[in-house]
A and B are shown apart, each in its own frame.
Chain A
Amino acid sequence: MLETTKDAKVHERESGMQLAGQSAESALSWKLADGVIELALHRGPCNELGSASLEELEKFTTALQLMQEQAHALIIYSELKPGFCAGADLHELYRRSETMDKTEAVKGVRDFLERIHRVLNLIDAAPLTTIAAVHGVTFGGGFELALACDLIIADKMARFCFPELRLGLIPGFGGIPRLKRDLGNGVVRDLLLTGRSINATKAQQIGLVSQVVGEGEALRAARATAAQLGKFDRATAVAAKKFIKPIPYEELRREIDIFCELFARPAVQLGLRKFVESTDALPYLP
């Protein structure tokens, strides 16, 4: 790989385009080099997705639309040890439900969901091959971010889970429609209705993960895959992706409606409070 920072800066000067970026709060950063965009997540403790992260993801997708003509692949990965992403920021969601009246809270949640759906739909449909290189916790919204990608390459210590039902909710970032697009309905029901987590080997057995690699090797394997993809004709790769990977827009819209209907119930606030105030050693376990 070329020296990425220098490469990006040179291209930026020549094209006037932002090819590397990092926002002030720095939940994430990205760079483009050798036709591969790398999006690194690094907001502690485990890349929880709240308002600040969403704003940064929106900046990234704006940059992505400018960069994608010069790229053939996008890799999304976490720089944090606990994992890829632990999902939505439930503390923020709880504060939102506590401090606003119910109508305002639901309106705020709908606005948040519509914005994050726009981000994930752009990543899902991006005219390049997208790879989630995951390790450790890949839960809820983190799982949904990975599902928006074309390929998931998993460290053998990765774990996937939709724990939303224990809060009285369903996954809200497009998880069910995308999981249903990719896997058999029985598997979707298992993951959704039991809320259990599965490891990378199981995820590969059910067709969710394309490669399982050793501990700490997911990013290296993703880079090797991205380098291979660069050998193909770009227009052909884009056409193949468009043909094989339809975006389930109608179901994604319906998911937002169902989430908001469920969110309005008192049971959700109780579930969120229980999670936020939990001293249980296993709050992530359903």
Chain B
Amino acid sequence: MPTAEQTLNEILTLAAAHFKVPREKLSPDEDFFKTLGIDSLQTLDLLTKLENHFHVELPDYELQGVSDFRTLAGKIQARL
């Protein structure tokens, strides 16, 4: 099983590739809605991408209030 830090790094790499932004522009603790400028539909796309990549099922109500990659990584790590 990957460590929490490895999961976080994979998420950052995936998000950067999916939204076509340089990886170094994304930081674990920043608000990704602001950094990426994404709307709800794009957020769902990211959720699907992450579920497919990590082979987990993440109910979207668990994402309520989650806006930074570190918290998101914690949610995914808990289901690995």
Contact = CB atoms under 8 A, between A and B. Distances in A.
Given A281-B33, A281-B40, A284-B40, A136 B45 contact: yes
B41 interface: yes
Contacts of B52: 156-157, 199, 201
Given A196-B61, A284-B41, A285-B61, 12 more contacts: A82-B41, A157-B48, A157-B49, A157-B52, A199-B52, A199-B57, A281-B38, A281-B43, A282-B43, A284-B44, A285-B43, A286-B60
13 contacts: A46-B41, A82-B41, A83-B41, A136-B44, A157-B45, A157-B48, A159-B44, A196-B61, A202-B57, A282-B40, A284-B40, A284-B41, A285-B63
Interface centre among B44, B49, B52, B61 (most CB of A within 10 A): B44
Interface in A239-286: 280-286
Contacts of A285: 40, 43-44, 60-61, 63-64
B29 to A, nearest CB: 17
A199 B41 contact: no
Contacts of A62: none
A199 B48 contact: yes
B24 interface: no
Given A198-B57, A285-B61, A159 B43 contact: no
A197 B57 contact: no
Tell me what chain A mostly uses at the interface: helix, strand, loop, or mixed: loop
Nearest to B43: A282
A194 B59 contact: yes
| Top-8 shortest CB links A-B | A284-B40, A196-B59, A281-B33, A285-B60, A82-B41, A282-B40, A199-B48, A199-B51
Interface in B1-46: 33, 38-41, 43-45
Contacts of B49: 157
B40 A283 contact: yes
Nearest to B32: A281
A159 B67 CA distance: 20
B48 A159 contact: yes
A217 to B, nearest CB: 14
A156 to B, nearest CB: 6
Contacts of B44: 136-137, 159, 197, 284-285
A159 B61 CA distance: 14
B41 A281 contact: no
A181 B79 CA distance: 31
Interface in B45-80: 45, 47-49, 51-52, 57, 59-61, 63-64, 67
Given A157-B49, A201-B52, A281-B33, A196 B60 contact: yes
A197 B60 contact: yes
Contacts of A200: 48
A282 B48 contact: no
Contacts of B45: 136, 157
Contacts of B64: 282, 285
A159 B41 CA distance: 10
B61 A137 contact: no
A195 B61 CA distance: 9
Contacts of B67: 281
Nearest to B39: A281
